[in-house]
Amino acid sequence: MRTHSPFSLTPWVRGLIVANAVVYLLTITVFTGPWFYELFAFNPARAGTQLWGFVSYMFVHGGFLHLAFNMLMLFFFGPAVEDRMGATAFGLYYFICGLGGAAFSFAVGLFTPVMPFVGASAAVFGVSLAFAMHWPDAPIYVFPLPVPIKAKWLVVFLATINLASAILGSDDGVAHLAHLGGFLFGFIYLVSEGAVARRAGEALRRPRPESAIPKARRREAQNAEPPVATPPQEPSIYDEVDRVLDKISATGLDSLTPDERRLLDDVSRQLREH
């Protein structure tokens, strides 16, 4: 895991923090009326007529402490996760978690009333989940605890608190359902991406059966001149995939470098396209 100084944030993390801060400044200086929250919050009861709310709610916050909590979590967890995933995948993952928070709240709202809500918490909680899944034993210092706790236990604690509050119907003004939706969609994404990468590598690793090679190409190969000796070539993508899969077998998926993960992602994308 690469460490970052406070002044070397990754592109998506920097952009998201700036965007959320700008929107907050606008809500306390220009758009100060309640209409702004009513228009850009996610309201499950109006989701069909205010579709933009599925995205816009992620950039609106109910107060400075609300904004500060979410942006601090993104500041601490986001850069390492963006480095690991790559910028494009991180941006996609962030919005999937945010959309998941709204979608899960909407689904529950079909059966019981759910209050409108704002905030980046669902997306940020998804980022914290990704951090904990990649570096479960990383020490996290949480004020005012005197000792650090492991990332995996911090996320388990957050998920448990939100689940209990949602089940008990806590009236604390916190969007617990959105938080759970962010966790849920983030978990599904991370697990499915890992499975796709492993399947892609295994598919490339398997030799192609002769029946899969067109007959014309087989005849050409049989009638071809003996190959001429050539200088050693660079390792093929198949060799690289073999090496990465061997590494996964020996030390697990979390041991891969960003370049190795991008290789598997590229291969899996090519397989899906073909």
Q: Which residues are catalytic?
A: 121, 179
- 3-state SS assignment for residue 117: strand
DSSP H helices in the chain = 11-29, 34-40, 53-56, 64-85, 87-109, 121-134, 151-168, 176-205, 215-223, 237-251, 258-273
**What tokens were used for 20?**
């959320």
Cα-flanking dihedrals φ and ψ of residue 103, to 5°? -65, -40
Is the peptide bond prior to 144 cis by the omega test (within 30 degrees of 0)? yes
Collect contacts of 63-69 with beta carbons under 8 A, ≥24 apart: 64/24, 66/119, 67/20, 67/21, 67/24, 69/121
